[in-house]
Amino acid sequence: MPILALMDAIDARIIRALQRDGRLTNLELAEEVGLSPSPCLRRVRNLEAAGVIQGYTALVDQKACGYPITCLVRIRLANHSQENVQAFEKKIAETEAILDCYLMTGGADYELRIVARSLDDYEQLVRHTIQKLPGIASIETSFAYGVVKKSRILPVRVEKGA
């Protein structure tokens, strides 16, 4: 589905603006993208309906919310039986502190981004949740001790020519 093909430069500007500030009023947005309010609102609704805009969220301070620790965790499975994989992914989905989980090429099968309230808290999570899953071959944790960049703004460019 080449949704992109249906997007023009104004849609791209709308997406950029709403990533920058998801609570822009339609009036502000319309002015920023050079449209009057009604067509602007219609475009936003279309982008939402098409799934290009998937939702809106508040960005919160991890530390202020009590989660000062971020770890990136690489996991290998010993056994990729359908049961193990399903049990693993189900647990991932249920566990709130696991924010992201990607299936990866390379040395690890999965990479997880996990937040924790403390090192103890992290240890508990690993011991009681992750290590108990069947078929885990290895768990390699790296802690983030600094954040150089954290952008939620995906670049949006409309295809030119080609």
Q: Which residues contact 108 (CB under 8 A, 6 or more apart)?
A: 74, 75, 76, 140
Size of the site for DNA (CB under 7 A): 13
Pairing mode of beta strands 69-77, 110-116: antiparallel
Q: Which residues contact 41 (CB under 8 A, 6 or more apart)?
A: 26, 30
Q: Which does 137 bind (CB under 5 to 8 A by kind): a second copy, DNA, none?
A: none
| Given 20, 42, 80, 90, the residue binding DNA (CB under 7 A) | 42
Complex with a second copy: residue 31 or 85, whichever CB lies closer: 85
Shortest distance (Å) from residue 112 CB to a second copy: 8
Q: Are 114 and 130 in contact (CB under 8 A)?
A: no
Complex with DNA: residue 35 or 75, whichever CB lies closer: 35
The site for a second copy (CB under 8 A) is made up of 1, 3-4, 7, 15, 18-23, 50-67, 70, 72, 89, 92-93, 96-108, 110-111, 115, 140-157, 159
Cα–Cα distance measured from residue 48 to residue 64, given in angstroms and rounded to the nearest whole number = 31
